[in-house]
Amino acid sequence: MSIRWRSHLRIAFCAAGIALAACVAFSSWGCGKLLTTEPAPGERFDQPLEGLSNGELGDFQDGHTQFRKSFTINEGLGPIFNNVSCASCHSGDGRGRPENILVRFSRGTDLVPGEGGPQIQDKAVPGATAERLPAGVDVSYRLPPPVFGVGLIEAIPDSAIAANADPGDANGDGISGRVNWVTPAAYLPAGEAGAGPGPRAGRFGRKASVSALFQQVVEAYHQDMGITSTFHPTENVNPLGPAVAPGVDRAPEPEVPDNRINDVSQYMRMLAPPSPGEMTATRQRGQTLFAGARCVGCHVPVMHTGPHEIEALANRDVAIYSDLLLHDLGDALADNRPDGSADGHEWRTAPLWGMRIAREFLGGRLLLLHDGRAHSVDEAVRLHDGEAAAARDAYLAMPVADKAALVDFVESR
Amino acid sequence: MRKIPRSGVDRSGIEARGAACAVPISGAVRRVVRAGLVAVLALSWGTSIAGTTPAVSHPSIHRAATRAKPPAPVEPPDQTTAPAVLDYAPYHGSLESIAWGGHGELRFGYDRTAGVSDPSWFSVGRANGFFLARLGSRFRLGAQAAYDRGADDFVLERAELIGRVGRALDAHAGIFLAPLGRTNLDHDAPLYEFAERSLVATQLVGVPNAELGAGIRGFGNLDPTFPFTYEVDLVTGFDDGVIMGAAGGTRLPAGRNNYGDQNGVPAVAGRIALQPSVDTEIGFAAQSGPYNQTKVGGATVDHSRFVHLVVVDGETRAAGFQLAAEAGGALIDVPPALRALYAQRQWGASVEATRLLRAPLFHSWHGTSLSAGIRADKVDFDARIPGDSRSRLCASLNFRPHPAAVIRFGWYYEWRRDRFNNDTPMAGLTLTAASYF
Give per-residue pLDDT as tens, A126-149. 999 999 999 999 899 999 999 999
Q: What is the DSSP string of A329-386?
A: --TTT-----BTTB-TTEEEPPP--SHHHHGGGTTT---BSTTS-B-SHHHHHHH--G
A99 in B contact zone (CB under 8 Å): yes
Look at residue A97 and tell me whether its pLDDT is greater than 50.
Answer: yes
Q: Name residues 201-240 of chain B within 8 A of A (Cβ).
A: 240
User: Is the Cβ–Cβ distance between B371 and B357 less than 8 Å?
Assistant: yes
B348-404 confidence digits (pLDDT tens): 999 999 999 999 988 888 899 999 999 999 999 999 999 999 999 999 999 999 999
| Cβ proximity of A121 and A272 under 8 Å | no
Chain B contact for A92 (CB, 8 A cutoff)? yes
Contact flag A72-B297 (C-beta cutoff 8 Å): no
B135 CB-near residues (< 8 Å, 6+ apart): B86, B87, B90, B141, B161
Annotate B282-297 with DSSP letters as a single string: EEEEEEEEE-S--EET
A293 contacts: CB under 8 Å, gap ≥ 6: A391, A394, A395, A398, A406
- pLDDT value of residue A125: 94
Q: Per-residue pLDDT averaged across A223-247, rounded? A: 93
Q: Which of residues 70-129 of B touch A (CB under 8 A)?
A: 110, 112-116
Q: Which residue has the higher pLDDT, B95 or A403?
A: A403
For residue A24, the model assigns a pLDDT of: 65
For residue A37, the model assigns a pLDDT of 87
Which residue type sits at A78? G
A34/B338 touch (CB, cutoff 8 Å), yes or no: no
Query: Does ipTM come in above 0.90?
Result: no
pLDDT tens figures, A151-184: 999 999 999 999 999 999 999 999 999 999 999 9
The residue-averaged pLDDT of A42-53 equals 93
What gap in Å lies between CA B91 and CA B211, rounded to an integer? 23
Position A29 scores a pLDDT of: 62
Closest chain A CA to residue B296: A247
pLDDT digits (tens, 9 = 90+) for A244-270: 888 888 899 899 999 999 999 999 999
Predicted confidence at residue A26, as pLDDT, reads: 62
How confident is the prediction for chain A on average, in pLDDT?
92
CB contact under 8 A, A34 and B411: yes
Contact A123, A130 (CB under 8 A): yes
In order of A108, A203, A276, A310, B290, the CA distances from A50 in angstroms are: 44, 23, 15, 11, 52
For B119, which DSSP code?
S
CB-CB under 8 Å, A245 with B296: yes
A74 and B241 in contact by Cβ < 8 A? yes
- Residue ranges of B 285-324 with Cβ closer than 8 A to chain A: 292-293, 296-297, 299, 301-302
Q: Of B297, B358, B429, which is closest to A247 when you measure between CB atoms?
A: B297
Q: What per-residue confidence (pLDDT) applies to A363?
A: 87
Pick from A7, A31, A363: CB nearest B363: A7
Q: Quick check: A36 and B427 CB within 8 A?
A: yes
pLDDT at site B38:
37
- Rounded Cα gap, residues A89 and A80, in angstroms: 16
| E strand map for B278-422 | 280-290, 295-296, 299-300, 306-318, 321-332, 345-358, 369-380, 389-402, 405-417
- Convert the pLDDT of each residue in A325-379 to its tens digit: 999 999 999 988 888 789 999 999 999 999 999 998 988 899 999 999 999 999 9
Give the Cα separation of B144 and B159 in Å (integer): 7
In tens, the pLDDT along B4-31 reads 333 322 333 322 323 333 333 344 434 4
Q: Which of A250, A379, A132 is nearest to B301 (CA)?
A: A250
Percent of chain A clearing pLDDT 90 (strictly above): 77
Phi, psi of B325 (to 5 degrees): -150, 150
Q: For residue B115, what are the CA distances in angstroms to A36, A87, B217, B425? A: 5, 20, 48, 8
The closest alpha carbon to A63, from A216, A265, A217, A214, belongs to: A265
Contact flag B429-A35 (C-beta cutoff 8 Å): yes
Q: Which residues 239-298 of A are in CB contact (within 8 Å) with B?
A: 245-248, 250
Choose between B378 and A1: higher pLDDT.
Answer: B378
Q: b/e for B238-277, b at 16 or more Cβ within 10 A? A: bbbbbbbbbbbbbbbbbbbbbeebbbeebbebbbbbbbee
pLDDT of residue A4: 64
Q: Which helix (H) or strand (E) holds A176?
A: none
- How far CA A52 is from CA of A153, A262, A271, A312, B319, in Å, comes to 17, 17, 11, 6, 58
Regions of chain B with pLDDT less than 70: 1-96
- What confidence tier does A221 reach under pLDDT thresholds 50, 70, 90? very high
The whole-angstrom separation of Cα B342 and Cα B356 is: 43
Distance (Å, rounded) from C-alpha A195 to C-alpha A217? Answer: 14
Identify the burial level of B331 via C-beta atoms within 10 angstroms of its C-beta, where 0-12 means exposed, 13-18 middle and 19 or more buried.
middle
Q: Residue A146: phi, psi to the nearest 5?
A: -65, 150
Put simply, the chain A residues between 105 and 134 with a CB less than 8 A from any chain B CB are: 122-130
Stretch (H or E) spanning B139 = strand B139-148
